[in-house]
Amino acid sequence: MKGTVVTEITSEKKTKWVVRTEGGPNLAKTVEFLVLAKVKDMVKKSLSILAAAFLAAAVGAPQVGCVSTYARTVNAIEARDARVRDDLGSIVDSVHCVRTVAEYRLDGAPEGAPTETRTGHGTALAYAYRGGYTYLVTNVHVVDDPERITEVELVPGPGGLAIVLNTYTKVSERTTLVADAGDTDDSDDILVEEVAKDAELDIAVVRTPQRLTISDSYVADRSITPCLGEEVYVVGYPRGRFSAVTRGVISHPDYFDPEDNEHLDVIDITSTFGNSGSPYFVRRGDQLYWAGVMGQIMTYRGTPVTLFTLGTPIRAFAGLLDRTEPAVGTPAVEGADAEED
C-alpha cells in the first residue's frame, strides 16, 4: 500500500460504499473492507445510543447523549430508592411497641386470692396530634383482652383424670407504649387510653397526652385501593423485640372473607406475632401510601407456618380515625395543651 493514495470515498443510497484509489483492485478491496468495518462499528454505537434513550424515556431521565443518559438513568433510580428509604426511616419514628397487661381472678376464689397476669405486645402507628393528644391506631386484640377466659385443666382423681373448667374474670387492664418486649423499666412507659374501636374490624384508636412524632413521609389517602403485585412495606415490632421494616407484594387486594364478612388485603410478606397493629404502605414511584393495618396471619392447616398476612384496608376504618372522645366507660387521661397539627 506504500505510495498509494485514497482519492475518493462516496456513499450510494447509504448502503453501498465505493472506494476509488490510485492503486490496483486489490488495494481498493482492502480499503473497502476497512470502511465497511468502520460502518458496522458506527451502527453498533448508534443502536447503543437508541437503547439508552428508550431506557431513559421509560424512567423519565433526560436524554443527553449515550454515557450521560445511562448515568442519569441509574442515578434517577437510585435517588427514588433513597427517598423511599428515608421515608421509611421517618415512619419508623412514628411506630410504637404496645404492651397490655391484664389481671384475672379465678371465679369463686376468696377475696384477696392472687390474680393471674397476662402480658401481650403489638404495634401502633401515631398518625395525628389534635387538641393536646397524640392518636394512634392498632388492633383491638392488642389493647383489649377478653373479659372472661376459660381454661381446661386435667385433675387426677380416683377414677383417673377429670376435666375441670376454670373461668377467670378480668379485674384490671393497663396499656402502655414501651421500648420493646424486653423493657423492664416502667418509669418511661407512656400510658394510653382507648378512644374508639370496631371489634368486627379488629381496629382500635387510642390516645396519649404525650406528644409523639407524627411522620409526614407518606400519603394518607383514605380511599386508596392497593393493586395486584404492588410493592408493600410493613413497619412493626415482630414478637415485640425490635422495630423492623419488611417488604412484600399485594397478592390479593380487596379479598372478601366470607367467614368474618369483611374485605381484606392479602399480602405476601414476613410477619409474626407482635406485628398485629402494624401499618402497611404501598409504594408508587418514590411515594409511600398508608394502605391499612395488619391484623391476621393465614397459616398452613393450623401449623405455625405462615402463608400470607391479612390487612384491614384504611378505607374500612377511616371513620374511626376522626374520633377524638374516649369510648364510654373508659377513664380519661388528662390532656396537655390544645395545640393541633
Q: Is residue 289 part of a domain?
A: yes
Q: What is the pTM of this model?
A: 0.74
Q: Is residue 41 part of a domain?
A: no
Q: Is residue 164 part of a domain?
A: yes
How far is Cα 257 from Cα 90, in angstroms, rounded to an integer?
33
Sequential DSSP letters for 169-222: EEEEEEEEEES-TT---GGG-EE-EEEEEETTTTEEEEEESS------SSB--T
Q: Is residue 69 part of a domain?
A: no
Number of domains in the chain: 1
Is residue 175 predicted with pLDDT exceeding 60?
A: yes
| Mean pLDDT in residue range 268-281 | 94
Average pLDDT across the chain, whole number: 83
State the CATH number of the domain containing residue 305. Answer: 2.40.10.120
Is residue 38 predicted with pLDDT exceeding 60?
A: no
Share of the chain above pLDDT 70, in %: 76
Is residue 21 predicted with pLDDT exceeding 50?
A: no
- Which pLDDT tens digit goes with each residue over 319-334? 999 998 885 555 445 4
How far is Cα 188 from Cα 210, in angstroms, rounded to an integer?
11
Is residue 23 predicted with pLDDT exceeding 70?
A: no
- Which pLDDT tens digit goes with each residue over 213-264? 999 999 999 999 999 999 999 999 999 999 999 999 999 999 998 988 899 9
- Which pLDDT tens digit goes with each residue over 135-147? 999 999 999 999 9
Q: Is residue 4 part of a domain?
A: no
Q: Is residue 52 part of a domain?
A: no
- Which pLDDT tens digit goes with each residue over 145-157? 999 999 998 888 8
- State the residue range of the domain holding 275: 96-322
Q: Is residue 27 part of a domain?
A: no
| Mean pLDDT in residue range 264-273 | 93
Q: Is residue 170 part of a domain?
A: yes
Virtual torsion, Cα 6, 7, 9, 10, nearest 10 deg = -160
How far is Cα 212 from Cα 190, in angstroms, rounded to an integer?
10
Give the pLDDT score at 162.
86
